[in-house]
Amino acid sequence: MKKLNYIDLFAGAGGLSEGFIRAGFKPIVHIELDQAACYTLKTRQAYYYLKKKNKAETYIDYLKGNITRDDLYSVLPNEILSSVINKTIGVDNKYIFGEIDKQLQNQEVDILLGGPPCQAYSLVGRARDENGMQNDRRNYLYIQYNNFLKKYNPKMFVFENVPGLLSAKQGQYYKNMCNLFDKAGYITQHFALAASNFGVLQNRKRILIIGYKKELNISLPDFENYKSGLSSKVKSVFADLPKLQAGEGIDKFISYAGKTNSWLKESGVRNGIDVLTQHVARPHTIQDKEIYRITVDKWNDKKERLDYNDLPERLKTHKNRHSFFDRFKVVAADMPYSHTVVAHIAKDGHYYIHPDIEQNRSISVREAARLQSFPDDFYFEGIKEGQSRTAAFKQIGNAVPPLMAQNIAKKIKEL
């Protein structure tokens, strides 16, 4: 039985793709604008290629810092490296189509994956923009998505985005999408998903639009009421990791501080390659650490979130006292899921404070990745090798949780 293949548009770091690969699908190409994310995609493809060739030790050498990124890529065939396309969808379509056609070699495309950047549809993005994102070109990237549907005619597509997609411009964008997809020959259905239902220890809400060719006689699963059966407390994310102070950590290879637990094992976060990377914490000012201590004490002692206006006057440096009262927030270890990890974590860690007061810092890159259910052997690249913390946080915050994607992919595969 041939492996079902897919094209991944707006691929990011590859969270959606990771889930589909783990469910047995085969990527044809990944298309992504961000250069650092493209390096991440290439590195992950290196992992799968070397694993298949029984040469995983080369990848492990990379995680340990024994070889460079160039050394890692040098053992890959050109078709693997060229399957990651660092171009702009809508601007470079002619080039992109040409590269896809080379990779396809007359194969059919089974599934199209991907969701355009979500800032234009998100409630927060609209609130911050003086025009409510009305003039943002990203509002119309679904038209480009439809162009790929028309060209490659896949059996199905999976389009992921934020819940605000349904209400943006009074729902007009969503209606326009569905009309376009209908004209291209697809029946569409949307689902409001909670990542926690799929075993992810995070309260991440997303919209999933699934389309399938009208001639296919299928019935989609009820993804909204899906329950994976995998659950735990957020403390499982932190349980086996070495303690760090602000500004500490090692990018390549640090040893675990404890044994695995059931969630880490069953989720695939710890999957056999016990090489811990990117457990790196950003530095903080003395003032920030004082605020963090107040925030953590308030949660751990009273289960109360910090209101910014309740801080001592000397610690209140933001002029805006009328909104974003909860700009400092603890990742609650004793809850069944954390609050949502978003790309803003790349700018500061105030919204993602570690629950251990002794460490007194925001969460590390690896801890953020685990909250998103990325496996520990998934390495997030920067544009320059070894300079990946900020780029990694951004990629992690923008990603689809692989564990959620894997469960969705399994059900789609059954169809």
Q: Which residues are catalytic?
A: 118
What angle do the packed helices 93-104 and 141-152 form, to 10 degrees? 30
- One-letter-per-residue 3-state SS of the chain: CCCCEEEECCCCCCHHHHHHHHCCCEEEEEECCCHHHHHHHHHHHHHHHHHHCCCHHHHHHHHCCCCCHHHHHHCCCHHHHCCEECCCCCCCHHHHHHHHHHHHCCCCCCEEECCCCCCCCCHHHHHHCCCCCCCCHHHHHHHHHHHHHHHHCCCEEEEEECHHHHCHHHHHHHHHHHHHHHHCCEEEEEEEEEHHHHCCCECCEEEEEEEEECCCCCCCCCHHHCCCCCCCCCHHHHCCCCCCCCCCEECCCECCCCCCCHHHHHCCCCCCCCCECCEECCCCCHHHHHHHHHHHHHHHHHCCCCCHHHCCHHHCCCCCCCCCCCCCCECCCCCCCECCCCHHHHCCCCCCECCCCCCCCECCHHHHHHHCCCCCCCCCCCCCCCCCHHHHHHHHHHCCCHHHHHHHHHHHHHC
Angle between helices 35-52 and 56-63 (to 10 degrees): 140
What is the CB neighbour count within 10 angstroms for residue 370? Answer: 29
Whole-number Cα distances in Å, 343 to 179, 392, 396: 31, 10, 7
Asked if 226 contacts 197 with a C-beta cutoff of 8 angstroms, the reply is yes
